[in-house]
Amino acid sequence: MTLSSSWRSPSNIALIKYWGKHGVQLPQNPSLSFTLEACHTAMKLSVIPEKGDQDLTFLYQGSPRPSFVPKIKVFLELMEEHMPWLRHASVEIDSSNTFPHGAGIASSASAMSALALCLTDIDDQINARQSTIDGAWWLRVSQYARLGSGSACRSVHPVMALWGQLTRVTKSSDEYAVPWKEEIAPFFHDYRDTILVVSAAEKSVSSTAGHALMRDLPYASTRYDEARANTWKLINALRSSDQLDEFIRICESEALQLHALMMMGRSPFMLIAPGTVSIIHEVWRYRKETNIPVCFTLDAGPNVHLLYPAQYADDVRRWVDEVLIRYCANGFFIEDRVGNGPERIL
- DSSP type of residue 166: B
**Cα(79)–Cα(75) distance, integer angstroms:** 6
176 near ligand DP6, judged by CB under 6 A: no
Cβ nearer to ligand DP6, comparing 105 with 184: 105
**Cα(297)–Cα(36) distance, integer angstroms:** 14
Q: Which stretch binds ligand DP6 (CB under 6 A): 207-215, 261-269, 307-315, 333-341?
A: 207-215
Q: Which residue's CB atom is positioned nearest to ligand DP6?
A: 150
Q: How far is C-alpha 191 from the chain's CA centre?
A: 16
User: Could you give the maximum distance between any two Cα atoms of the chain, in Å?
Assistant: 66
149 near ligand DP6, judged by CB under 6 A: yes
The residue within the footprint of ligand DP6, chosen from 150, 302, 339, 342 (CB under 6 A), is 150
Cβ nearer to ligand DP6, comparing 40 with 49: 40
Smallest gap from residue 106 Cβ to ligand DP6 (A)? 6
**Cα(56)–Cα(184) distance, integer angstroms:** 41
CB-based contact 12:85 (threshold 8 Å) = no
**Cα(6)–Cα(117) distance, integer angstroms:** 8
The residue within the footprint of ligand DP6, chosen from 6, 28, 31, 297 (CB under 6 A), is 31
Q: How far is C-alpha 344 from the chain's CA centre?
A: 19
The residue within the footprint of ligand DP6, chosen from 211, 223, 228, 259 (CB under 6 A), is 211
Q: Which stretch binds ligand DP6 (CB under 6 A): 121-129, 166-174, 204-212, 231-239?
A: 204-212
Smallest gap from residue 17 Cβ to ligand DP6 (A)? 4
- DSSP type of residue 181: S
| Segment 34 to 93, residues that bind ligand DP6, using CB under 6 A | none
Nearest to 59 by CA among 124, 3, 111, 7: 111
25 near ligand DP6, judged by CB under 6 A: yes
| Segment 295 to 314, residues that bind ligand DP6, using CB under 6 A | 299-300
Q: Which H or E run includes 241? A: none
Can you give the binding site for ligand DP6, defined by CB under 6 A?
A: 14, 17-19, 25, 31, 106, 108, 149-151, 207-208, 211, 258, 299-300
